Amino acid sequence: MIEEGSKSSKSMVEKRQLFMEMRAQNFDVIRLSTYRTACKLRFVQKRCNLHLVDVWNMIEAFRDNGLSTLDHNAEINVSRLETILSSIFYQLNKRLPTTHQINVEQSIGLLLNFIVATYDSEGHGKLTVFAMKAMLATMCGGKILDKLRYIFSQISDSNGVMVYAKFDQFLREVLKLPTAVFEGPSFGYTEHSVRTCFPQQKKILLNTFLDVLMADPPPQYLVWLPLMHRLANVENVFHPVECSYCRSESMMGFRYRCQQCHGYQLCQSCFWRGHASGPHSNQHQMKEHSSWKSPAKKLSHAISKSLGCMPIGEPPHPVFPEAAERPQDLAHTTQLRPVANNMNDTVLISSGTPTPSKSSTLESPSRLDEEHRLIARYAARLAAEASNSTQRQLIAELENKNREILQEIQRLRLEHEQASQPTPEKAQQNPTLLAELRLLRHRKDELERRMSALQESRRELMVQLEGLMRLLKDEEQKQASQTGSSPHSSPSHSASCTMPMPIRSTSAGSTPTHTPQDCLAGVGDDVLDAFSQGVPRNLRNDLLVAADSITNTMSSLVKELHSVDDGLEDEEENMRNGREKVSSLKHPGKRQSTPSF
């Protein structure tokens, strides 16, 4: 009992898994029911890996599992449905490269639960063959033209004319898909659905059927079907245009341009959610673009169109012959039972020669060889389509990576330009600090000029001191020689002989004289005392003391200059810290470069 309970609970979880994942995508914020329904069914298609299987693969799987011999109203149980799905996905894995293999068991489980929840809500455990064919043909990948051709073959008679009752049955089954994704109120089946699609009572052939369902706009009840295919085609389309609402510099998917507001364009996310800004309103008519054309291409296209170099309107689909094509009978390749001669589950082969009946095929060896060649050609086409799909997928991945790299390069370029361009805010962050910095620079310049002048004065003083030293030395030698020759010389005569030669004063505009006091003006008190004393002194020591005094004065001046430089550096550091704080307050999380003054 415990094991049965755990299995049932696990089964319930698996049934709800796909719907829980779909709710997590938050598709309900899309305001338009058509886009909301198409997005939900596209999500189911991709989650179950049905987008990798086209309608030709479905036809092959139906034939291989013997569904071609069954009536549309025949019922199959869930176990046989699981067998059919297993055949579809295992054959898909054989066509895919090893690097792109899918989880077959998970895909089978998700799709089986979705089909049962859609077509067996009452829990009978059975569903009709037509319901399964209609669902898988609608939800598989491939071109919408191939899907509609196959669907028409299921709802038409042997003469190629659509049967209204079968089309009504098709609508009943296919409109259960929007109901399964909770969009039944918008696209639920009604008794008037057939008359809405084909209002006039007339004979509907293949081309008319395709014209109606592929028109712009298509019938209201099936408007989500072509939109789902357009969504698949524009998932990797890049538009280098800025969204007028969210300001995103590029768009992926659809692009919407307002027909009233000039230059107003929205990305698909903003348009689906009903966002608008400025004079634009949600009531304005919008044009949907599924590709990007440069202005040069638009101009050349307009010129070619105006000159008649290209057709103005192209048909939405190729025109097919009105007579119904006879199906190619491939029954002998898989089974020996006869196959009903109808248009069910057939591969349409464009051949000009009519296909013979089964009896003539079995009797003629040349016909057997021709059919084998056709089968080989079809198998080669399937292999080529598989390889092409792989290449397209790789190309799409590389294009996505290239777009990401280009967006990153553009972002880095913009950041570099913003950082390199000075702004008025940077220059006007703190005028008080700027004024103090200018005063400090002015004071530093004055001190540097004063120091240069003092250094020049010191050099001149040293030159004068050296001259005085030479004079003193010569005078002492003269005094020594005179003392030895005439010891009775008078002191006044000696004092008059010690008068130094005139030297240039450091004062600006002063005129040199022959007096020692004038010659030593601005030198120092020690030197002046040495020349003003009447008694001879040791003038060498006095001059050395004066030189030391000058050197000490210069050292104190140098220290003062160093202290001013240190204060200037501290003020500059405070200035930088202040600018960084202001920048961090204005732009949190972003570090700006500090302007240099």
The answer to whether 25 and 41 are in contact (CB under 8 A) is: no
Q: What is the structure's pLDDT at 525?
A: 53
Quick check: 541 pLDDT over 80?
no
In eight-state DSSP terms, residue 499 is: P
Instruction: Using the predicted structure, report yes or no on whether residue 4 has a pLDDT greater than 90.
Output: no
What is the length of the chain? 597
Which amino acid is it at 105?
E
What's the Cα-to-Cα distance from 397 to each of 216, 384, 447, rounded to whole Å?
A: 31, 20, 68
Task: Provide the pLDDT for residue 90.
Answer: 94
pLDDT of residue 153: 93
29 close to 273: Cβ distance less than 8 angstroms: yes
Distances in Å between the alpha carbon of 342 and those of 156, 338, 372? Answer: 10, 12, 21
For the chain, counts of helices (H) and of strands (E)? 23, 7
CA distance 279 to 266: 14
How does the average pLDDT of the chain come out, rounded?
75
**Tokens found for residue 41:** 């069914």
408-439 b/e (C-beta count within 10 Å ≥ 16 → b) = eeeeeeeeeeeeeeeeeeeeebeeebeeebee
pLDDT reading at 501 higher than 50: no
Look at residue 366 in the predicted model and tell me its pLDDT. Answer: 54
Quick check: 181 and 40 in contact, CB under 8 A?
Answer: yes
What pLDDT sits at residue 485?
55
- Backbone region of residue 376 per phi and psi (left: phi > 0; alpha: psi in -120 to 50; beta: other values): alpha
Q: Indicate whether 239 pLDDT > 50.
A: yes
- Strand 238-239 with 75-77, pairing: unpaired
Q: Which two tokens stand for residue 536?
A: 């001879």
429 pLDDT tier (thresholds 50, 70, 90): low
Tokens standing for residue 596: 């240099």
- Angle at 517 (CA atoms; ends 512, 523), nearest 5 degrees: 85
Q: What is the dihedral of CA 57, 58, 64, 65, to 10 degrees?
A: 150
Who contacts 125 (Cβ-Cβ below 8 Å, separation ≥6)? 77, 78
Lowest-confidence segment of 139-143, 346-350, 468-472, 555-559 by average pLDDT: 346-350
State residue 425's pLDDT score: 54
Residues 196, 198, 201: CA angle, nearest 5 degrees? 120
pLDDT recorded at residue 177: 94
Rounded distance between C-alpha atoms, residue 232 and residue 392, angstroms:
13
Q: C-alpha angle with apex 560: 559 to 563, nearest 5 degrees?
A: 85
Strands 255-258 and 286-289: antiparallel
Ranges 96-100, 234-238, 302-306: which has the least confidence: 302-306
Q: Could you tell me which of 251, 247, 227 has the C-alpha nearest to residue 238?
A: 251
- Banded model confidence at residue 499, pLDDT cuts 50, 70, 90: very low
Separation in Å, CA 373 to CA 189, 358, 366, 377 = 45, 17, 11, 6
Q: What is the pLDDT of residues 350-401, one digit of tens each?
A: 333 333 333 333 344 555 566 666 677 777 777 666 667 777 788 888 888 8
Nearest-angstrom CA–CA distance, 252 and 552: 78
Instruction: Report yes or no: 142 and 58 within 8 Å, Cβ to Cβ.
Output: no
Weakest-pLDDT range from 210-224, 249-263, 483-497, 506-520: 506-520
> Which single residue is written with the structure tokens 């696209």?
187
Give the separation between CA 266 and CA 255, rounded to whole angstroms: 6
Please say whether the beta carbons of 130 and 168 come within 8 A. no
* Tokens linked to 539: 């003038």
Report for 9-18, 65-74, 188-197, 466-475: range of highest mean pLDDT: 65-74
What is the rounded CA–CA span in Å between residue 472 and residue 67?
135
Residues 434-440 have a mean pLDDT of 82
Residue 445 confidence class, pLDDT cut points 50, 70, 90: confident
Report pLDDT for 519.
43
**pLDDT tens digits for 37-89?**
999 999 999 999 999 999 999 999 999 998 888 899 999 999 999 999 999 99
Q: Categorize the per-residue pLDDT at 490 as very low, low, confident or very high, splitting at 50, 70 and 90.
A: very low
**SS3 state of residue 464:** helix
- CA angle (56 as vertex; 326, 49 as ends), nearest 5: 160
**What is the predicted pLDDT for the residue at 588?**
53
Question: pLDDT category, 314, cuts 50, 70, 90?
Answer: low
